[in-house]
Amino acid sequence: MAYSELIKNFSHVRAYLRSFYVYGFQHRSEYTQKSSRMYDNERRRVESWLGKYLTFIQDKEGRRVFISLDSRDIPQNPLFSAFRAKSFTPTDISLHFHVLDILQTENSLSITDLMNSLTARLLDFNGEILPDESTVRRKLKEYVALGLLCTGKKGRETVYSLPDSYSDLEKWNCAAAFFSEVLPMGVIGSYIQDRMAERCQFFRFRQHYILSTLDSEILYSAAQAINEKRLITYSHNNQNLKVLPQKIYIGTQTGRQYLLVWSPKRRKFSFQRTDQISNLKIDEAFDVPQDLEEKLKIYQSHAWGVTSCNNQSCTEHIEMILSIRAGEDYLLNKLINEKRCGTVEQIDETRWLFRADVYNTLEMVPWLRSFTGSILELKGSNSVVIKRFWKDLSDLANLYCSGDTGKSGEADV
Amino acid sequence: MLFHEIYGRYYQVTANILKEAVRGNLTRGKLNAMIHSQAFSESILTMPENLVGSRWSLIREDLSTPLKNEPHMPLTILEKRWIKALMLDPRIRLFEPDMEAFSDVEPLFSPDMIVYYDRSAKGDDYSDPLYVSCFKTALAALREHRKLKIRWKSSSSTAAALTSHEAEAIPMYLEYAEKDDIFRITLQDEMNQLTVRISQITECEMTSVAVPPDALKLKKETRESVTFELTDFRNAKERVLSHFSHLEKETKRLDDLRYQITLKYNSSDESEMVTRILSFGPVIKVTSPESFTELIRKRIRAQLSMKNCSCDVTHAQK
Question: In chain B, which residues have their Cβ closer than 8 Å to the Cβ of A44?
Answer: 42
Distances A366 to A253, A299, B36, B105, B240 between C-alpha atoms, Å: 11, 22, 47, 43, 11
Domains A90-161 and A316-399 share a fold: no
Q: How far apart are CA A69 and CA B179, in angstroms?
A: 19
Exposure pattern of B262-284 as b/e (b: 16+ CB <10 Å)?
Answer: bbebbeebeeebbbbbbbbbbbb
A68 lies within 8 A of chain B by CB? yes
B208 lies within 8 A of chain A by CB? no
pLDDT, tens digit (0-9, with 9 covering 90-100), for B4-31: 999 999 999 999 999 999 999 999 999 9
Q: How far apart are CA A135 and CA A116, in angstroms?
A: 14
Mutate to test the interface with A, among B63, B310, B314 (most CBs of A within 10 A): B310
B48 lies within 8 A of chain A by CB? no
User: Nearest to residue A181, comparing CAs of A199, A198, A196, A195?
Assistant: A199
Closest-CA residue in chain B for A81? B9
Q: Which pLDDT tens digits describe chain B residue by residue (318 residues)?
A: 899 999 999 999 999 999 999 999 999 999 999 999 999 999 999 999 999 999 999 999 999 999 999 999 999 999 999 999 999 999 999 998 889 999 999 999 999 999 999 999 999 999 999 999 999 999 999 999 999 999 999 876 555 678 899 999 999 999 999 999 999 999 998 778 899 999 999 999 999 989 887 766 767 778 999 999 999 988 999 999 999 999 999 999 999 999 999 999 999 999 999 999 999 999 999 999 999 999 999 999 999 998 555 544 433 332
Look at the domain A316-399 and name its fold: Alpha-Beta Plaits (3.30.70)
Exposure pattern of A81-114 as b/e (b: 16+ CB <10 Å)?
Answer: bbbbbbebeebbbbbbbbbbbbbbebebbeeeeb
Instruction: Report pLDDT for A412.
Output: 30
Among the partner-chain residues B6, B115, B175, the one whose CB lies closest to the CB of A146 is B6
B246 lies within 8 A of chain A by CB? yes
| Other Cβ atoms closer than 10 A to B136 | 16
Please give, rounded to a whole number of angstroms, the shortest distance from the CA of B53 to a CA of chain A: 7
Among the partner-chain residues B101, B186, B245, the one whose CB lies closest to the CB of A168 is B101
Which parts of chain A sit beneath pLDDT 70? Answer: 311-312, 404-413
Please give, rounded to a whole number of angstroms, the shortest distance from the CA of B115 to a CA of chain A: 5
Q: In chain A, what are the domain boundaries?
A: 11-70, 90-161, 169-208, 212-301, 316-399
DSSP sequence for A145-188: HHTS-EEEEETTEEEEEPPPP---GGGGHHHHHHHHHHSTTTHH
Please give, rounded to a whole number of angstroms, the shortest distance from the CA of A265 to a CA of chain B: 23
B85 lies within 8 A of chain A by CB? yes
B194 lies within 8 A of chain A by CB? no
B233 lies within 8 A of chain A by CB? no
Element (H, E) at B287: strand B284-288
Would you call B167 helix, strand, or coil by DSSP? strand
The verdict on domain B223-304 having CATH code 3.10.580.10 is: no
**In this structure, which amino acid lies at residue B80?**
K
B127 lies within 8 A of chain A by CB? no
Q: How far apart are CA A195 and CA A169, in angstroms?
A: 8
Among the partner-chain residues B73, B116, B316, the one whose CB lies closest to the CB of A250 is B116
pLDDT, tens digit (0-9, with 9 covering 90-100), for B81-111: 999 999 999 999 999 888 999 999 999 999 9
The verdict on domain B129-155+162-216 having CATH code 2.40.50.140 is: no
Contacts of B244 (CB under 8 A, 6+ apart): B261, B263, B276
Look at the domain A90-161 and name its fold: Arc Repressor Mutant, subunit A (1.10.10)
B24 lies within 8 A of chain A by CB? no
Instruction: Report pLDDT for A405.
Output: 58
Instruction: Report pLDDT for A128.
Output: 78
User: Nearest to residue B150, comparing CAs of B215, B191, B197, B183?
Assistant: B197
The verdict on domain A212-301 having CATH code 2.30.30 is: yes
Question: In chain A, which residues have their Cβ closer than 8 Å to the Cβ of B74?
Answer: 147-148, 162-163, 165-166
Question: In chain B, which residues have their Cβ closer than 8 Å to the Cβ of A398?
Answer: 282, 313, 315-317
Among the partner-chain residues A21, A260, A398, the one whose CB lies closest to the CB of B245 is A21
A58 lies within 8 A of chain B by CB? no
Beta bridge partners of B231: B258
pLDDT, tens digit (0-9, with 9 covering 90-100), for A61-84: 888 899 989 999 999 999 999 999
